[in-house]
Amino acid sequence: MASYPAVEVAWRRSGDLDPVADLLYAALDPFQPLAIDTRLDAPASTLDLEEIWSVFFRSPAQRDAAAAALDAELGARLIRIDRIDVPDDGWGRRSQAQLRAIRVGRVVVAPPWDVDDTAEIQILIEPSTGFGTGHHETTRLCLAALQEAGLRGRRVVDVGTGSGVLAITAAKLGAAAVVAVDNDPDALRNTRENVAMNEAAAAIEVIESELSDLSIEAADVVVANLTAPVLVRHADALKQIIAPGGVLIASGFGDAEEHEVAGALAPLRPRPPQRAGAWSAVVFDSPGA
């Protein structure tokens, strides 16, 4: 049976404002984890709760690099960091079966078992290996920014579409045409499944491509929930696909990285950042605006 390379980390929680989860997200981000399965344990030996995360990666090499980075950056805060191989018996769907719908403004993102019929705009997402159930702060910041952007009749590109959640939201907000791009074929299977489930196939073109190789017509709104290193490395490719007067919604980085991301994206002009937890999103105006 195939197995997934993972790292299991555990730490003792210090109250509601425990910083370790945010630090872990930031430290794991460069290694593009596929999924994170979290649980709480109450060991008999102590009154403190233990939080335990199983973090899944695409390859053993990526897992090993992530484990080494966690050890170096957060070793002192963690009780243990174990490299494990988890049998592929459907953990992806099972571990996410507890997920509930989330709401951001007028948009509800729901797994198929928690639909909200009162939602003005409902996006159904089948949790799978495509990142983007709506639960991550960066996805939520992008969902809010898309609602502010005035998408009716506009052309939108979603770079790093993952589950397709942002592309589908753009289509439901009235965008005339949406292109959803990812370089990960596994994520794109989930994108297509979700586009079909939301009956959005007429408005959304799904493309497998590296951001750097993308050759498409420029868009009024580009949304890119990636990471700081990816945004910086591919800043020129991103600028190429924004029409004059258009905007870029960028997320996937923390406040300490805002400056570097904005520097790489100049002459695009950053608006004031929006923040949630350890994460930021910045809307950039193209100079033609």
Question: What's the CA gap between 171 and 134, in Å, rounded?
Answer: 16
- From residue 221, alpha-carbon distances to 14, 156, 177, 247, 255 in Å are 41, 5, 11, 5, 23
Report the 3 state secondary structure along 81-119: EEEEEEECCCHHHHHCCCCCCEEECCEEEECCCCCCCCC
Q: How many residues bind ligand SAH (CB under 6 A)?
A: 19
Nearer to ligand SAH, 70 or 104 (CB): 104
Q: How far apart are the first and last CA of the chain?
A: 54
Q: Which is nearer to ligand SAH, 20 or 237 (CB)?
A: 237
35 binds ligand SAH (CB under 6 A): no
Q: Which is nearer to ligand SAH, 7 or 35 (CB)?
A: 35
Residue with smaller CB distance to ligand SAH, 67 or 224: 224
Examine residue 62 and tell whether it contacts ligand SAH (CB under 6 A).
no
CB of 130 to ligand SAH, least distance (A): 6
Q: Count of alpha carbons within 13 Å of 150, Cβ hemisphere only? A: 3
Closest-CB residue for ligand SAH?
Answer: 160
Do residues 203 and 171 make contact, with C-beta atoms less than 8 angstroms apart? yes
Q: Can you tell me which of 110, 230, 250, 278 binds ligand SAH, judged by CB under 6 A?
A: 230
User: Can residue 142 be called a binding residue for ligand SAH (CB under 6 A)?
Assistant: yes
Whether 42 contacts 4, CB under 8 Å: no
Piece of the chain touching ligand SAH by CB under 6 A; list 17-25, 94-102, 161-169, 195-203: 161-169
Please identify which residue in 34, 203, 226, 278 interacts with ligand SAH, judged by CB under 6 A: 226
Q: Is 236 in the site for ligand SAH (CB under 6 A)?
A: no
Q: Which residue has the tokens 């990471």?
A: 227
Note the residues at the interface with ligand SAH (CB under 6 A): 131-132, 139, 142, 160-162, 165-166, 181-184, 187, 210-211, 225-226, 230
